[in-house]
Amino acid sequence: MASSSSGLTFKLHPLVILNISDHYTRVKSQLHPPPSAHHCAPAAADPFAPPAPAAADPPRVYGCVIGVQRGRTVEIFNSFELLYDPATHSLDRAFLDKKQELYKKVFPNFYVLGWYSTGSDAEESDMHIHKALMDINESPVYVLLNPSINHAQKDLPVTIYESELHVIDGIPQLIFVRASYTIETVEAERISVDHVAHLKPSDGGTAATQLAAHLTGIHSAIKMLNSRVRVLHHYLLAMQKGEIPCENSLLRQVSSLLRRLPAIESGKFQDDFLMEYNDTLLITYLAMLTNCSSTMNELIDKFNTAYDRHSRRGGRTPFV
Amino acid sequence: MGSIENLVTQIQGLSGSIDDIAHLHNILKVADESLHAEPSALSSVLDQVDPAKHSLGYLYFLEAFTSGPVSKEQALTLIPILARFINCCDAQQIRFAPDKFVSVCKRFKDHVLLIESPLRGVSPMRAAVRKLQTTSEHLTTLHPDFLLLCLLSKSYNIGLSVLEDDIFDVDQPRDLFLYCYYGGMICIGQKRFRKALELLHNVVTAPMNTINAIAVEAYKKYILVSLIHYGQFSTSLPKYASSAAQRNLKNFCQPYIELATTYSSGKIAEFKIYVDTNREKYDNDKNLGLVKQVVSSMYKHNIQRLTQTYLTLSLQDIANTVQLGSPKEAEMHVLQMIQDGEIFATINQKDGMVRFLEDPEQYKTCQMIEHIDSSIQRIMTLSRKLNAMDELMSYDPLYLSKVLFTQVGRERQRFDFDDFDTVPQKFPI
Q: How far is A209 from chain B (nearest CA, A)?
A: 22
* Cβ atoms B15, B56 nearer than 8 A: yes
The tally of CA atoms less than 13 A away on the side-chain side of residue B132 is 25
The answer to whether the Cβ–Cβ distance between B428 and A303 falls below 8 Å is: no
Which of these ranges, A261-275, B2-16, B165-179, has the smallest mean pLDDT? B2-16
**What is residue A48's predicted lDDT score, i.e. its pLDDT?**
45
**What is residue B31's predicted lDDT score, i.e. its pLDDT?**
78
**What is residue B127's predicted lDDT score, i.e. its pLDDT?**
86
* Strand partners of residue A165: A174
List C-alpha distances in Å: B28 to B25, B60, B62: 5, 7, 12
pLDDT band at B7 (very low <50, low <70, confident <90, very high): confident
Q: For residues B391 and B410, what is the distance between their CA atoms, to the nearest angstrom? A: 27
The answer to whether the Cβ–Cβ distance between A307 and B398 falls below 8 Å is: yes
* Cβ atoms B131, B105 nearer than 8 A: no
Q: Hey, of B379, B419, B426, which one would you mutate to test binding to chain A, going by the most A CBs within 10 A of its CB?
A: B379
The answer to whether the Cβ–Cβ distance between A278 and B376 falls below 8 Å is: no
**What is residue B10's predicted lDDT score, i.e. its pLDDT?**
74
The answer to whether the Cβ–Cβ distance between B389 and A274 falls below 8 Å is: no
Q: How far is B247 from chain A (nearest CA, A)?
A: 18
| DSSP code of residue B350 | T
List C-alpha distances in Å: A161 to A10, A24, A71, A113, A209: 10, 19, 19, 12, 43
Q: Hey, of A266, A269, A275, A281, which one would you mutate to test binding to chain B, going by the most B CBs within 10 A of its CB?
A: A281
**What is residue A292's predicted lDDT score, i.e. its pLDDT?**
93
Q: For residues B66 and B102, what is the distance between their CA atoms, to the nearest angstrom? A: 13
Flag whether pLDDT at A85 surpasses 80.
no
Is the peptide bond between A262 and the residue preceding it cis, with omega within 30 degrees of 0?
yes
**What is residue A46's predicted lDDT score, i.e. its pLDDT?**
47
Residue A100's CB is within 10 A of a number of other CB atoms, namely 16
Which of these ranges, A45-49, A121-125, B39-43, B51-55, has the smallest mean pLDDT? A45-49
- A284: which chain B residues are within 8 Å (Cβ-Cβ)? 376
**What is residue A201's predicted lDDT score, i.e. its pLDDT?**
58
The residues in A 236-275 lying below 8 A from B, measured between CB atoms, are: 270-272, 274-275
Flag whether pLDDT at B420 surpasses 80.
no
Element (H, E) at B244: helix B243-252
- A275: which chain B residues are within 8 Å (Cβ-Cβ)? 362-364
The answer to whether the Cβ–Cβ distance between A275 and B363 falls below 8 Å is: yes
Tell me whether strands A158-168 and A84-85 are parallel, antiparallel or unpaired. unpaired
Average of per-residue pLDDT values in chain B: 81
Q: Is the dihedral of CA A19, A24, A27, A30 positive or negative?
A: negative
**What is residue B355's predicted lDDT score, i.e. its pLDDT?**
85
Beta-carbon contacts of A268 under 8 Å, excluding residues fewer than 6 positions away, are: none
Q: For residues B129 and B86, what is the distance between their CA atoms, to the nearest angstrom? A: 10
The mean pLDDT of B281-307, rounded to a whole number, is 83
The answer to whether the Cβ–Cβ distance between A274 and B390 falls below 8 Å is: no
Element (H, E) at B385: helix B366-394
| DSSP code of residue A120 | S
Flag whether pLDDT at B421 surpasses 60.
no
Interface size, chain A vs chain B, as Cβ–Cβ contacts under 8 Å: 82
**Residue B136 vs residue A111, higher pLDDT:** A111
ipTM: 0.73
Flag whether pLDDT at B9 surpasses 80.
no
CA A243 distance to own-chain centroid: 36
**What is residue B419's predicted lDDT score, i.e. its pLDDT?**
53
Element (H, E) at B354: strand B353-356
pLDDT in tens, B173-195: 888 899 999 999 999 888 888 88
* Strand partners of residue A111: A67
**What is residue A129's predicted lDDT score, i.e. its pLDDT?**
82
Flag whether pLDDT at B158 surpasses 60.
yes
DSSP one-letter string for A29-88: HHHS--SS-----S-TT-TTSPPPPS-SSPPP-EEEEEEEEETTEEEEEEEEEE-EETTT
Q: Considering only CA atoms, which of A225, A253, A251 is closest in space to residue A239?
A: A251
* Cβ atoms B70, B106 nearer than 8 A: no
How open is the CA angle B256-B258-B261, to the nearest 5 degrees? 115
Q: How far is A274 from chain B (nearest CA, A)?
A: 5
3-state secondary structure at position A19: helix
Flag whether pLDDT at B380 surpasses 70.
yes
The answer to whether the Cβ–Cβ distance between A314 and B375 falls below 8 Å is: no
**What is residue A39's predicted lDDT score, i.e. its pLDDT?**
45
pLDDT band at A34 (very low <50, low <70, confident <90, very high): low
Q: Hey, of B361, B364, B419, which one would you mutate to test binding to chain A, going by the most A CBs within 10 A of its CB?
A: B364
Flag whether pLDDT at A49 surpasses 50.
no
The mean pLDDT of A28-56, rounded to a whole number, is 55
3-state secondary structure at position A211: helix
Q: For residues B239 and B243, what is the distance between their CA atoms, to the nearest angstrom? A: 9
pLDDT band at A271 (very low <50, low <70, confident <90, very high): confident
Flag whether pLDDT at A317 surpasses 50.
no
Flag whether pLDDT at B49 surpasses 70.
yes
* Strand partners of residue B223: none
Q: For residues B98 and B104, what is the distance between their CA atoms, to the nearest angstrom? A: 10
**What is residue A172's predicted lDDT score, i.e. its pLDDT?**
81
Q: Considering only CA atoms, which of B123, B42, B115 is closest in space to residue B83?
A: B123
Beta-carbon contacts of A118 under 8 Å, excluding residues fewer than 6 positions away, are: A20, A24, A44, A58, A60, A61, A144, A145, A146, A147
DSSP one-letter string for B164-186: TSPP-EES-HHHHHHHHHHHHHH
**Residue A205 vs residue A300, higher pLDDT:** A300
pLDDT band at A204 (very low <50, low <70, confident <90, very high): low
Burial label for B220, CB within 10 Å (0-12, 13-18, 19+), is buried
High-pLDDT (> 70) share of chain A, %: 84
Give the helix ranges, DSSP H, for A198-266: 207-241, 248-260
Q: For residues A137 and A130, what is the distance between their CA atoms, to the nearest angstrom? A: 10
The mean pLDDT of A123-135, rounded to a whole number, is 81
Element (H, E) at A111: strand A111-118
Flag whether pLDDT at B229 surpasses 50.
yes
Q: Considering only CA atoms, which of B220, B186, B227, B191 is closest in space to residue B203?
A: B220
Residue type, B252: F
* Cβ atoms B43, B77 nearer than 8 A: no
**What is residue A170's predicted lDDT score, i.e. its pLDDT?**
80
pLDDT in tens, A219-253: 999 999 999 999 989 988 988 888 888 788 888 98
Q: Is the dihedral of CA B397, B403, B406, B411 positive or negative?
A: negative
Chain A residue closest to B376 (CA)?
A285
**What is residue A53's predicted lDDT score, i.e. its pLDDT?**
44
Q: For residues A130 and A90, what is the distance between their CA atoms, to the nearest angstrom? A: 9
**What is residue A223's predicted lDDT score, i.e. its pLDDT?**
94
The answer to whether the Cβ–Cβ distance between B376 and A284 falls below 8 Å is: yes
- A274: which chain B residues are within 8 Å (Cβ-Cβ)? 363-366, 368-369
Flag whether pLDDT at B108 surpasses 60.
yes
Flag whether pLDDT at A190 surpasses 50.
yes
The mean pLDDT of B159-176, rounded to a whole number, is 83
Flag whether pLDDT at A314 surpasses 70.
no
Q: For residues B201 and B181, what is the distance between their CA atoms, to the nearest angstrom? A: 9
Average of per-residue pLDDT values in chain A: 80
pLDDT in tens, B299-324: 888 888 888 888 888 888 888 887 77
The mean pLDDT of A87-108, rounded to a whole number, is 85
* Cβ atoms A255, B343 nearer than 8 A: no
Which of these ranges, B234-243, B268-277, B412-421, has the smallest mean pLDDT? B412-421
**Residue B170 vs residue B387, higher pLDDT:** B387
Q: How far is A217 from chain B (nearest CA, A)?
A: 23
The mean pLDDT of A30-48, rounded to a whole number, is 55
Beta-carbon contacts of A99 under 8 Å, excluding residues fewer than 6 positions away, are: A64, A80, A82
pLDDT band at A124 (very low <50, low <70, confident <90, very high): confident
Number of continuous H segments (helices) and E segments (strands) in chain A: 7, 10
**What is residue B275's predicted lDDT score, i.e. its pLDDT?**
84
pLDDT band at A51 (very low <50, low <70, confident <90, very high): very low
The mean pLDDT of A193-222, rounded to a whole number, is 76
Q: Hey, of B402, B416, B427, which one would you mutate to test binding to chain A, going by the most A CBs within 10 A of its CB?
A: B402
List C-alpha distances in Å: B310 to A215, A232, B305, B316: 47, 61, 9, 14
Q: For residues B226 and A225, what is the distance between their CA atoms, to the nearest angstrom? A: 52
3-state secondary structure at position B36: helix
| DSSP code of residue B70 | -
**What is residue A36's predicted lDDT score, i.e. its pLDDT?**
56
